[in-house]
Structure 1
Amino acid sequence: MRLDRYLANLQYGTRSDVKKMIKANRVAINGQKVRNGSVSVVPGATVTVDGKTVGGSLQVYYLMNKPSGVLTANSDAAQKTVLDLIAPADRRPGLYPVGRLDKDTTGLLLLTNDGALGHDLLSPKRHVPKTYLVSLAAALTPAMADQLAEGITFQEFTSAPATVAVRPGSEGRLIELTIHEGKFHQVKRMLKAVGNQVTDLQRIQMGPLHLPASLPSGQYRKLTEAELAALLEAKK
């Protein structure tokens, strides 16, 4: 990769800013000052800016605990998005949220600039399961659970059979619901279709990824090597 593009991707400024930095003799590769931004950065090379080693992966994978009130979008002129929660140093070109959580839905959200992985995880052919913790206005009845487990037909699609588990001690008003699609307002529409109403919604699992209990709302972290390996395996 070209040196100027490499530094720009690591958020050291725009391509124009980086070119000025290089021409100012502030950048070195393997200890040798470089004044040409077209020079290639080969794997394993040590790049320094003002004597300090720069680095970081160009391909990133973040697990976020999305808070309520934030849009799952790359940008918005009026409202805060999940990309606004990413620190400048952690941003990369092409970073985007994989899938969508409604503005008032919280929980597990994957963000990456690995477009191929994101596409595979969202592909209807993969049927990657997504589990939500759902608070209900009324207790879930056996009949409602049966309908959810059978699949529900909407005008534009029929949901695959869902897995339903009632949380103990919740009197039927807190359930774990696992679905295999990701349609607009799908969980809310499914519960409405069986005669109930969602009062709170949190995604707690996507494929092999689980929402860590230790990750505060609005925070994110890089995937561990084990999590990334499991995710890559899940997309096969």
Structure 2
Amino acid sequence: MAKERLDKVLAHLGLGSRKEIHRLARAGLVYIDGQLVRDAAFKFDPTLCRIEVNGEEVVYRAFFHLMLHKPAGYITSTGDRDGQPVTALLPEEWQRDDWMPVGRLDKDTEGLLLLTTDGELLHRLTHPRWKVKKRYYAELASPATPADVEAFALGFELDGEPLQPAELSLHADPRKVELVIREGKYHQVKRMFAARGNHVTYLRRIAFGPLALPSDLAIGESRPLEADEERSLYEAVGLPSR
């Protein structure tokens, strides 16, 4: 990795704004490989050096990933132009300017939403070529039928666009279903059922690729991905963990 400025590295790690990091350095609270560094413009390779701030070691990482249990009423965006963004739900210590949502959930849709700072991972997880599965739980205005199961499995056109085969499973009450899709077209789940003459009254994403929505992650809550969860996401799209 090329050498980076101290203020850029520590800001990337969420230790404050560049102005705040300049103050930390001037106060004598930053050590690189055991050496006091007071110049925030100091350049070093953070992947090779030991970083200590205010007496604690800071582990460098290139990318960050979170899972969020999205509630209804929030938009899958990092800006607030069209409503309250999902990033408003994150605690202060996880607020960043470079979060990118992995796929979108409608404003009234709940469930598992991944956030990442890795653009290549985002691209692969959302590109149809990689056929990453997204599983949804839906409640319908009318009962789904075995004919719907067959139609989804065969694939059909949606407004002139061919869809990849999907897996529809009916609960004991056929107005409650689970659906697995491998692409992410605009309002896809709702439009698929509308094409079959039905209407989605409630929708929740319960899994994305190898990750399922944890039962202990309350609605509106978020947490960083664990190391094995990160690895499974990268493996799902043929990337090495980084």
Tell me the TM-score normalised to structure 1 length.
0.90
Aligned equivalents of 2:69 and 2:45: distance in 1? Answer: 35
Secondary structure of 2:101's match? strand
Q: What is the CA deviation profile of residues 109-168 of structure 1, one whole-angstrom value per residue up to 9, with x for unaligned ones?
A: 11110111111111121111111101011111222322222223122512111111112x
Q: Is the counterpart of residue 106 in structure 1 residue 91 in structure 2?
A: no
Aligned equivalents of 1:208 and 1:75: distance in 2? Answer: 28
Q: Is the counterpart of residue 221 in structure 1 residue 213 in structure 2?
A: no
Q: What is the CA deviation profile of residues 51-77 of structure 1, one whole-angstrom value per residue up to 9, with x for unaligned ones?
A: 344446341111211111111101114
Q: What is the CA deviation profile of residues 166-198 of structure 1, one whole-angstrom value per residue up to 9, with x for unaligned ones?
A: 12x32x111111111101111000001101110
Paired residue type of 2:17: T
Aligned equivalents of 2:24 and 2:136: distance in 1? Answer: 48
Aligned equivalents of 2:170 and 2:134: distance in 1? Answer: 16
> Contact (CA 8 Å) 1:92, 1:113: kept in 2 or not?
no
Moved over 4 A (4+): none
Q: What is the CA deviation profile of residues 49-105 of structure 1, one whole-angstrom value per residue up to 9, with x for unaligned ones?
A: 333444463411112111111111011146321112222322445221110000111
> Contact (CA 8 Å) 1:83, 1:96: kept in 2 or not?
no
Q: Is the counterpart of residue 23 in structure 1 residue 23 in structure 2?
A: no
Secondary structure of 1:132's match? strand
In percent, how many aligned pairs have the same letter? 40
Question: Residue 146 of structure 1: which of 141, 147, 150 is its match?
Answer: 150
Q: Give 1:9's aligned residue.
A: 12
Q: Give 1:125's aligned residue.
A: 129
Question: Residue 183 of structure 2: which of 160, 181, 191 is its match?
Answer: 181
Q: Give 2:204's aligned residue.
A: 202
Tell me the TM-score normalised to structure 2 length.
0.88
> Contact (CA 8 Å) 1:10, 1:92: kept in 2 or not?
no
Aligned Cα root-mean-square deviation (Å): 1.9
Aligned equivalents of 1:149 and 1:114: distance in 2? Answer: 33
Q: Is the counterpart of residue 96 in structure 1 residue 94 in structure 2?
A: no
Q: Which runs of 5+ in 1 are unaligned?
A: none
